[in-house]
Structure 1
Amino acid sequence: MRKRNGYYASFLIAACAYSSGAWGLNPCSKPVYLTLDTGHMEVAPLIAEILLRNQVKVTFFAANERTKVGDGSLGNHWSAWWKARAAEGHEFASHTYDHAVWRGDLPGVQPRFRMKPTAGALEGREFTWDAAKYCSQISYAAERLKDFTGKAPLPLFRAPGGKTSPRLLEVARGCGYAHVGWSAAGFLGDELSSEKFSNAALLQKALRDVRQGDILMAHLGIWSRKDPWAPAVLEPLIVGLKAKGFCFDTLRNHPAYTDWIASHPG
């Protein structure tokens, strides 16, 4: 980090004390749950270094998105990267293979949806998908993750943009996947315009507003943001939250999903 002022240094000292156990015997009594969706992946290696350095475990939601380096984010170029993250103890879940955005339900007895893939060969076109097609999109991303990591992904998924309907969620649950959104304070803002929302302001807001149990959401690179959020904000955010007594855990241990995960083994 370039910024080494007293404010950041004090966070660092406090976080070290916390991680060493100085603040209690239970190191994760005040958890938050950091989740990272795929993106252009250019910053993925730097993010991985930060997570390892700070001993933070996250849950990755993966789609086969267009990247700045190599093939898609679930392509063979990135297989070793995913495998290394599994070895470090992170968790994984589907973000739909083609990063398919729900656009609306269609009438009828059988569930059908208007969907718009934003990655892959069908990027930018709108389609009508039935339940089986949508389930296959969730499952294929999960299968690719398992192929790369050797680890069964969690039976969870995140719809791109968080856009869903009750019927879509019912279909997903019917094929074994519970949906995960994010907390209001957990929207870390890396998708927002850097001209209107500076990294410093986003960091300050997160450190002020995040509460115990919140699910936090950011990306492995956002194309549109001119002043990248990651990795600039990530380390001071982690250090700052630890200094406030928070710890980081994966969704495997989130109380809203533990029963679902236990009843849907991979």
Structure 2
Amino acid sequence: MRSWAVYGGVAAFLLGAAAAATAGGNACKGTIYLTFDTGSQSQADLIAEVLNKHHVKATFFLASEKTVRGDYSLDPAWAPYWKARVEEGHAFGSHTFDHVYWVKDLSGGRMRVKPQFGAQAGKVQDWSAQQYCDEIRRVDTRFTELTGRHLDPIWRAPGGKTSANTLAASKACGYAHAGWAPAGFSGDETSSDAFPNKVLLDKALRDLRGGDIFMAHMGIWSRKDPWAPASLEPLITGLKQKGFCFATLRDHPDFKTKP
């Protein structure tokens, strides 16, 4: 069901070699999988800069979301950004094209959904499994147009909300769902007054364990004090100091190539 391109195996080898060099040449204490969902894109450039600075590869889940530029994150204007991330060796999955929220399962494998963007934004609709699959694949089609490269066969439901029907639909069209660990919730969608960045950072550094998937966004409209500028770099350096390495979900045991 899950097939990766040849470069995936090469990248996995290189990432494994790089990981072994972390913490002064000692073996990794464990691997953390950083993932980023599209959002307002206000932190897109900063995230790329920090990842490059620290030689960390991450996994990006893409939807065509409205950005602070006034366009959408999968518009042609974003092609240079995504091409650069491809060249850097990051991994990419679908976040549904119009950031479609699941509402409830219906009979016959159908489901009730509510797109956040696109022509049907805000309208509750009943979809078949094939329609849901097509929505996941729309991201791959656009991403290939923008970068010349297909997505990895992974996806993430908006809000992390899945169901028996959405999981069955995605599996039938070749995509495995990637959520996140409880300790991997960045909290960047919460109020910065109630959950200051230092509190979120301290919690992540305290609770993350080897094998955990960490999730943050590339910008959140509602958060007054953005998470990434204050937290991403100290999170990476703090985890490295604790002996952790980083990899994309191509190397995660639940998603990596099966021999």
Length-normalised TM-score, structure 1 = 0.87
| Residue segments in structure 1 that go unaligned for 5+ positions in a row | 1-17
Q: Aligned partners of 2:57 and 2:149: how far apart in 1?
A: 15
Q: Distance in 1 between matches of 2:103 and 2:207?
A: 31
Name the CA distance, whole Å, in 2 between partners of 1:133 and 1:231.
Answer: 38
Q: Distance in 1 between matches of 2:23 and 2:181?
A: 29
Q: 1:34 to 1:225 in 2, by over 3 A?
A: same
Contact kept, 8 Å, 2:22 with 2:245, in 1: the verdict is: no
Q: Which amino acid aligns with 2:24?
A: W
Alignment of 1:138-177 (within 5 A): 138-177=136-175
Is the contact made by 2:33 and 2:213 (CA closer than 8 Å) also made in structure 1? yes
* d(CA) in 2 for partners of 1:49, 1:19: 23
Deviation at 1:29, TM superposition (A): 5.6
Check whether the contact 1:66–1:120 (CA below 8 A) recurs between aligned residues: no
Q: Please name the residue that 1:71 is paired with.
A: 71
- The reply to whether residue 105 of structure 1 matches residue 99 of structure 2 is no
Amino acid at match of 1:63: A
2:48 is equivalent to residue 59 of structure 1: no
Correspondences of 1:16-95 after superposition (within 5 Å): 21=22, 23-26=24-27, 28=28, 30-95=30-95
The answer on whether the counterparts of 1:39 and 1:66 sit within 8 Å (CA) in structure 2 is yes
- Percentage identity across paired residues of the two chains: 54
Report if aligned partners of 1:112, 1:131 keep a CA contact under 8 Å in 2. yes
* CA RMSD, Structure 1 to Structure 2 (Å): 1.7
Aligned to 1:101, what secondary structure does the other structure show? Answer: strand
CA contact (8 A) 1:70 1:78 kept: no
Shift of 1:242: 0.5
Aligned-partner Cα distance in 2 for 1:236–1:29: 18
1:150 Cα deviation (Å)? Answer: 2.3
Question: Partners of 1:81 and 1:113 in 2: how far apart?
Answer: 34
The AA in structure 2 aligned to 1:90 is H
- Return closer, same or farther for 1:252/1:19 CA change in 2, 3 Å cut-off: closer
- Give the counterpart letter for 2:241 in structure 1: A
| Whole-angstrom distance in 2 between the partners of 1:121 and 1:68 | 20
Amino acid at match of 2:176: A
Q: Deviations over 1:235-257 (max 9, x none)?
A: 00011001100111000000011
CA displacement 1:142-199 (0-9 Å, x = unmatched): 2222222222211110000011111210111001111110000000110111010000
**Counterpart of 1:225?**
223
What is the match of residue 186 of structure 1?
Answer: 184
